[in-house]
Amino acid sequence: MHILVTNDDGVSAPGLLALVQQMRRLGEVSVLAPDRNWSASGHVKTLHRPMRVTEAQLDDGTSVLASDGAPSDCVALALLGLLPDPVDLVVSGINPNANLGHDVTYSGTVTAAMEAVICGVPGIAVSVDAPEYHQEQLDYSIASRVVHRIVSTCLREGFPKDILLNVNIPYLPQDQLTDIRITRLGLRVYRDKLVRREDPRGRPYYWIGGDAPTGVPENGTDFGALAQGAVSITPLHLDLTSYDKLETLIDWQWVSEDGESPQEG
């Protein structure tokens, strides 16, 4: 078993080290992670500049690889041949904040696992639900043991190649974690506000501020699981087709009755 570990917080993030240490119990681990923080960078494919890969060291002395590409670039580089041995599984994280609902489209953590799926390798994205804008160092020991449990289960059961698992773990003491639940994506409620200020030269600049997002803790969703102290596992595929709207749109009259061709406005 050869596991590629990456993240979106950068190679020196403590969540990555905790994940690497647990994954080593399951097989050979390679690390290729961004050399800086790419949180909320979305799904990136760097095509218009070269990328560099350098050696780095984790806090426990492990030699790893870092790149100036995005998290998804790191996965692509590794799986396209930068690593000599074939990779069986990509695990991304551990991100310090939850990636729930629409977050999955912004998240570098999740899009790294999406890139794995595109390359034909199963992916797992892992985040803990620590408070937004926390200052103190987080303890990843409980979450990383939960990931070990989840990956062991996947290896035993056999992992379909065409999906990724989006895992979110409550930031709670072990005895307060209630359950592991299979969920669907819930509804994120963003509370972004546009902040307009002036730079020292008097020109306006813009910053997306506002309060931390919330979500609807509906039963069966990722938000619902976390609200009840449970680990959430959401299986995701990359087919964003809205199947329930297909029928409606097929019934629309796309060509006018007087025979106007689709090219005419």
Burial class (CB in 10 A: 0-12, 13-18, 19+), 37: middle
**Contact, 32 vs 11, CB < 8 A?**
no
Shortest Å distance, C-beta 155 to Mn ion: 26
Q: Closest approach of Cβ 254 to Mn ion, in Å?
A: 42
Taking the least distance from each CB to Mn ion, the nearer of 33 and 181 is: 33
Q: How far apart are the first and last CA of the chain?
A: 56
Closer residue to Mn ion in complex, CB, 72/181: 72
Residue nearest to Mn ion (CB): 39
The label of the residue with tokens 């990931």 reads 147
Q: Which residues bind Mn ion (CB under 5 A)?
A: 8-9, 39, 95
Joined together, the tokens standing for residue 70 give 């995005």
Cβ–Cβ < 8 Å for 32, 77: yes
In the three-class reduction of DSSP (H, G, I as helix; E, B as strand; rest coil), residue 28 is classed as strand
Instruction: Choose between 38 and 159: whose C-beta lies nearer to Mn ion.
Output: 38
Least distance CB 95 / Mn ion (angstroms): 4
Minimum distance, C-beta of residue 178 to Mn ion, in the bound complex (Å): 25
Q: Name the residue nearer to Mn ion (CB basis): 94 or 230.
A: 94
**Whole-angstrom distance, CA of residue 218 vs CA of residue 201:** 48
